[in-house]
Amino acid sequence: MQFHHHGYVSTDPRIQEVAGCGIDRPAEIPEEVDVLIVGTGPAGMILGAQLSQFPDITTRIVEKRPERLAIGQADGVACRSVETFQAFGFADDLIREAYRITESVFWGPDPHDRNNLVRTARTKDDPHGISEFPHLICNQARVQDKFAEVMENSPTRMTPDFGLKFVDLTVADEGDYPVTVTLNRTAGEREGDDLTVRAKYVVGCDGARSNVRRSIGRTLDGDSADHAWGVMDILAVTDFPDIRTKGLITSNEGGNILLIPREGGHLFRLYVDLGVMSGKDSAAIRQTTPEESIAIAQRIFHPYTLDVKHVAWYSVYEVGQRVTDHFDDVPNDMIGRRTPRVFITGDACHTHSAKAGQGMNVSMQDGFNLGWKLASVLRGLAPESLLDTYSGERQPVAQKLIDFDKEWSRMMGAKPMDPEHPELGGVDPEEFQNFYVQTFDFIMGFSTEYELAPLTASADHQNLAGGFPLGRRFHSAPVVRVSDANPIHLGHHATADGRWRIYAFADTRVPGGKSAVADWADWMAEAAESPVNRYTPEGAETDAVFDVKVVYQGDHTEFDAIDAPEIFLPRRTPFDLIDYEKVFATDPSDDIFDARGIDRSGAVVVVRPDMYVSAVVPLSEPDKLAAYFDTIMLPQTAAAPAHA
């Protein structure tokens, strides 16, 4: 965290200085906004938190409920989400509060007495150490609260506009605010009143029954029937030995329960499978009472007891595996010829079972993918075409998720195979466990791979940094900050501020003398084609758009930060102070060059504002770096060198 650069500010440094539209922010939603977000679920809140960082963008987020969500809905927080929370500054807070999954257990019929229940397997979470962040369980409400804090502490002092329901919208062909939205007040003195807001962009984060989706004529396609679960957050006394471990319990009759221990040490969630809502039964299934769900759970837990003392939350969650073919308002025949004005995210464009805990996580990545793109376009840094890439990148992710979820649900819902009667079918517990381990990376959110050119560059130079695969999230690794000898996780200093990260991995142990990294740094600072010079708005700080960092191969004791080229030592207004936090050495106990397969001749790794690796180029070919940004960014000034 960096602060105090214009003097000491005696408050929580997470409270940013108010600026732009945060100054005298109107309590009432204005008639014209840059971005209108509909819905305060995980997708809407991450998007709001992202856009709230920009004082020059007016963003409002409306929610039909009169107040914040208090409890319920999703609770699985994948490692990739926790990485993302780090960028928003609250990973630690949530880790402290949440339940942490380190193992999962599987219980099934005892081979010796199939009416008895035994632990059939125990698997480690994150068996390959894919992330330094944990896999958590925490109420969706608290995750949303954290994003609300980020918004409120942002320069724009944004807070959700509760009690406003989206009704409909129309998109005009031109005008500064082409989307006209009708909202309706659901609370307060003027309850029932309509109001109209005009926006540059509208984002539907309004869940599975999205009206924004309907208003742009898109549909969720897929299964005809929904699957239903009785979901309950309960306090209970039980002699089941693994009640504080995530578990799948499958009884001989085939009924199954997903057990999710929850934050705080006592609460836990049970997903009781209620089956497919086919035709005439569906009304009855929908009516399943907590008592009925508990009774089913008790049968499955048998011979263990389950004495439920308190039901904190209960819901029959019914959902089908469905996905929309396109995530914005551009008609299929106009794609590439018109840019979008309305987007849909999260459950509004894909729904699937709750069993793999993807609901909140994938929705947040939708919002995170869209946020920086909207900001870049609105701030004049990127062309509107960048907005096409949102659907282009996220729709295939959703499609993959649906395919995965079908397989996953089949496995999770299947009767366990009786080894003495394999002819009766069912899934072999071992096969199940293997599937679980193999798909861990997917479930944790790490198999997303954006392939869309030109946003993801060609893989010509991937060999220079094999551990930073193109299109995948930047996998952080330890380094040592030279100026203060602090051990640092390189990626943890990438905040959700809409900036690009350019990591120069040096070809030398230390700065000084002639080297590829020195030449590259000079080019970055001086050349007209350098992205820093070409795309940084006039008057902005050198690193306003590109956060350029360097990692030398030596130990931090071998050199001084101040000897690094000036591009790595940007100045801070108003006092022209030197920023010393961009010069790194390797951590001798875990050399990043080895850990991430970086060539000793050096490499430049470009990471998008949403933390995905988008280009790997040689230090010695800066033109390739320049070329990468050609179609993605808009030139700002008559290419004056940054340090004239």
Ligand X SMILES: Cc1cc2nc3c(=O)[nH]c(=O)nc-3n(C[C@H](O)[C@H](O)[C@H](O)COP(=O)(O)OP(=O)(O)OC[C@H]3O[C@@H](n4cnc5c(N)ncnc54)[C@H](O)[C@@H]3O)c2cc1C
Are 483 and 461 in contact by the 8 Å Cβ rule? The answer is: no
Quickly tell me which residue has 């108003």 as its tokens. 574
Distance CA 232, CA 314 (A): 4
Residue from 30, 463, 575, 639 that binds its own copies (CB under 8 A)?
Answer: 575
Q: How far is CA 383 from CA 253, 377, 458, 633, 636, in A?
A: 58, 6, 20, 6, 12
Residue 2 as a binder of its own copies (CB under 8 A): the answer is yes
Nearer to ligand X, 108 or 207 (CB): 207
Report how many helices (DSSP H) and strands (DSSP E) the chain contains, helices first.
Answer: 15, 29
CA terminus-to-terminus distance, the chain:
29
Query: Rounded to the nearest 5°, which phi and psi values hold at 641?
Result: -60, 145
Q: Scanning residues 201 to 220, which ones bind ligand X (CB under 6 A)?
A: 205-207, 211
Within residues 228-257, the interface with ligand X by CB under 6 A covers 231
By the rule CB under 6 A, 120 interacts with ligand X: no
Place of tokens 């221990």: 261
CB 607 within 8 A of CB 501: yes
Minimum CB distance to its own copies, residue 457 (Å): 32
Q: Are 579 and 2 in contact (CB under 8 A)?
A: yes
Q: Are 597 and 467 in contact (CB under 8 A)?
A: yes
Residue 119, strand partner residues: 107
96 binds its own copies (CB under 8 A): yes
Q: Is 65 in the site for its own copies (CB under 8 A)?
A: no
Give min distance, CB of 163 to ligand X, in A.
Answer: 9
The yes or no reply on residue 118 touching its own copies (CB under 8 A) is: no
Q: Does the footprint of ligand X cover residue 148 (CB under 6 A)?
A: no
Are 137 and 75 within 8 A, CB to CB?
A: yes
- At what angle are helices 359-378 and 388-413 packed, to 10 degrees? 180
Contact with its own copies (CB under 8 A) among 20, 111, 175, 264 = 264
**Residue 577 contact partner, candidates ligand X, its own copies, none, CB within 5 to 8 A by sort of partner:** its own copies
How many binding residues for its own copies (CB under 8 A)? 65
Residues in the chain: 644
Q: Which of 84, 120, 131, 140 binds ligand X (CB under 6 A)?
A: 140
The number of angstroms, rounded, from the C-alpha of 217 to the middle of its chain's C-alpha atoms is: 26
Phi/psi at 207 (nearest 5 deg)? 75, -175
Contact positions with its own copies (CB under 8 A) in 210-239: 233, 235-237, 239
Restricting to residues 67-96, name those near ligand X by CB under 6 A: 73-74, 76
Structure tokens at 492: 């943890």
Kindly state whether residue 129 participates in binding its own copies, applying the rule CB under 8 A.
no
Shortest separation between residue 127's beta carbon and its own copies, angstroms: 13
- Residue among 51 and 360 whose Cβ is closer to ligand X: 360
Total residues contacting ligand X (rule CB under 6 A)? 32
> Which of 34/75 has CB closer to ligand X?
75
x/- track of binding to ligand X for residues 305-324 (CB under 6 A): ----------x-x-------
* Residues of this chain, 301-320, that bind its own copies according to CB under 8 A: 309-310, 312-313
Site for ligand X in 322-361 (CB under 6 A): 346-348, 354, 357, 359-360
- From the list 214-222, 479-487, 513-521, 587-595, the region that binds its own copies by CB under 8 A is 479-487
How near is the Cβ of 180 to ligand X at its closest, in Å? Answer: 16
Q: What is the 3-state secondary structure (H, E, C) of 196-264?
A: EEEEEEEEECCCCCCHHHHHCCCCCEECCCCEEEEEEEEEEEECCCCCCCEEEEECCCCCEEEEEECCC
Least Å distance between CB 89 and its own copies?
8
Q: How far is CA 304 from CA 233, 237, 267, 413, in A?
A: 19, 11, 18, 21
**Cis upstream peptide for 13 (omega within 30°):** no
Binding site for ligand X (CB under 6 A): 38-44, 62-65, 73-74, 76, 140, 165-166, 205-207, 211, 231, 315, 317, 346-348, 354, 357, 359-360, 363
Binding site for its own copies (CB under 8 A): 1-8, 10, 12-13, 70-71, 92-93, 96-97, 99-100, 102-103, 122, 139, 141-142, 145, 233, 235-237, 239, 241-245, 261-267, 309-310, 312-313, 483-487, 557, 560-563, 572, 575-581
